[in-house]
């Protein structure tokens, strides 16, 4: 059985080793969208960051330094949350608006703190799935109109909106 997770990440840089994960959230893509995980803000572990990354999400370095959680603590909590859903042959697949960004952070931190690739080896880009369903290879953004929850760089809101859009894609295309 496959479990699709809509995941969104905010970070203080473009890639691991060039910043830190600030926060992430996951929503199981299923009717009701009631199973969620929200990391909250996590303290940075490195001195590297890009000021423009903070500006994009309306946060300061000082606010990031004052975050209540460690990355390790919340990654291990997330791994436990996933484990609570584990069944034989159950596979988790991550979907994201931008898996090139979100998946690299999740995979890096999961490997770093659990030594496992709990989300597999790749993720699905919502825009690519949408364009394939519509048979329009260049139409990769119109799916965003199906988000109900506003996209505001709060990971749980962004993951929820993407999950809402994914469910609408299923309704339209079976």
Give the pLDDT confidence of 130-157 residue by residue, as tens digits.
999 999 999 999 999 999 999 999 999 9
Residue 17 Cα to chain centre, angstroms: 18
Please determine, for residue 174, whether its predicted confidence score (pLDDT) is greater than 90: no
Residue-level pLDDT at 88: 79
Cβ neighbour number for residue 72 with a 10 Å cutoff: 14
Percent of the chain whose predicted confidence (pLDDT) is above 70: 100
Please determine, for residue 99, whether its predicted confidence score (pLDDT) is greater than 90: yes
Q: How far apart are alpha carbons 32 and 127 in whole angstroms?
A: 22
Q: How far apart are alpha carbons 73 and 65 in whole angstroms?
A: 16
Over residues 79-85, the mean pLDDT reads 94
pLDDT band at 126 (very low <50, low <70, confident <90, very high): very high
**79 neighbors 110 (Cβ within 8 angstroms):** yes
Residue-level pLDDT at 42: 98
The domain in which residue 118 lies consists of 2-173
Residue-level pLDDT at 136: 96
CATH of the domain at 103: 3.30.420.10
Round the average pLDDT of the chain to a whole number and report it: 96
Percent of the chain whose predicted confidence (pLDDT) is above 90: 95
Closest CA to 35 of 58, 68, 62, 3: 3
pTM of the model: 0.96
Tokens of 155: 């990971």
Over residues 17-41, the mean pLDDT reads 97
Over residues 22-46, the mean pLDDT reads 98
Please determine, for residue 119, whether its predicted confidence score (pLDDT) is greater than 90: yes
- How many independent structural domains does the chain possess? 1
Please determine, for residue 90, whether its predicted confidence score (pLDDT) is greater than 90: no
Please determine, for residue 125, whether its predicted confidence score (pLDDT) is greater than 90: yes
- pLDDT (tens digit per residue) in 4-15: 999 999 999 999
């Amino acid at each position: 059985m496959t479990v699709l997770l809509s995941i969104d990440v905010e970070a203080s840089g473009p890639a691991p080793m060039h910043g830190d994960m600030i926060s992430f959230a996951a929503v199981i893509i299923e009717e009701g969208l009631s199973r969620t995980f929200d990391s909250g803000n996590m303290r940075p572990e490195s001195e590297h960051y890009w000021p423009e990354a903070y500006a994009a999400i309306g946060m300061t370095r000082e606010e990031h330094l004052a975050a209540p959680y460690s990355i390790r603590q919340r990654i291990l909590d997330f791994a436990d949350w996933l484990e609570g859903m584990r069944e034989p042959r159950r596979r988790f697949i991550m979907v994201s608006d931008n898996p090139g960004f979100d998946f690299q952070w999740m995979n890096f931190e999961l490997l770093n703190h659990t030594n496992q690739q709990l989300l597999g080896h790749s993720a699905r880009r919502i825009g690519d799935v949408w364009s394939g369903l519509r048979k329009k290879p260049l139409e990769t953004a119109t799916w965003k109109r199906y988000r109900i929850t506003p996209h505001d760089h709060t990971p749980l809101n962004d993951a929820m909106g993407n999950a809402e859009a994914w469910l609408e894609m299923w309704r339209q295309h079976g």
